[in-house]
Amino acid sequence: MLLPSVRVSYAADIRPLFRPLDIAHMAPFDVRLDDYAYMSDPSENHRNARTIGAFLSGARQPRMPVDGPYWTEDQLKLYERWMTDGFQP
């Protein structure tokens, strides 16, 4: 587990959570899970990252990844920390 003082980064912590299958599945929908610029886009209060987070947590349906396994609570908390930490690269 990360220490509270360590910022969560997309490259080191978040990107590796997305499987190649997840990335390929979402690409036809123009959702670029492997693209930091897309994921951290600040427009509309970081809509891309927040929407993906809602699908990952099940707050929006269908839950991601569609075929499972779903992210663990620790993974979801890490994703939330990435957003709270300011969408660090």
The pTM of the whole model exceeds 0.85: yes
pLDDT for the residue 32: 98
How does DSSP classify residue 71? P
pLDDT digits (tens, 9 = 90+) for 14-36: 999 999 999 999 999 999 999 99
In a domain, 29, yes or no: yes
- With vertex at residue 26, the alpha carbon angle to CA 65 and CA 7, rounded to the nearest 5 degrees, is 70
- Does residue 63 lie within any of the structural domains? yes
Alpha-carbon gap, residue 52 to 7, rounded angstroms: 20
Structure tokens at 78: 């890490």
Residue 3 lies in a domain: no
Task: Classify residue 89: in a domain, yes or no.
Answer: no
Domain that holds residue 78: 10-84
Residue 80 counted as domain residue: yes
Find the distance separating the first CA and the last CA of the chain, reported in whole Å. Answer: 19
Q: CA 82 to CA 9: how far, in whole Å?
A: 6
Q: Would residue 1 count as lying in a domain?
A: no
Query: What is the total count of domains within the chain?
Result: 1
Per-residue pLDDT band for 6 (boundaries 50, 70, 90) equals confident
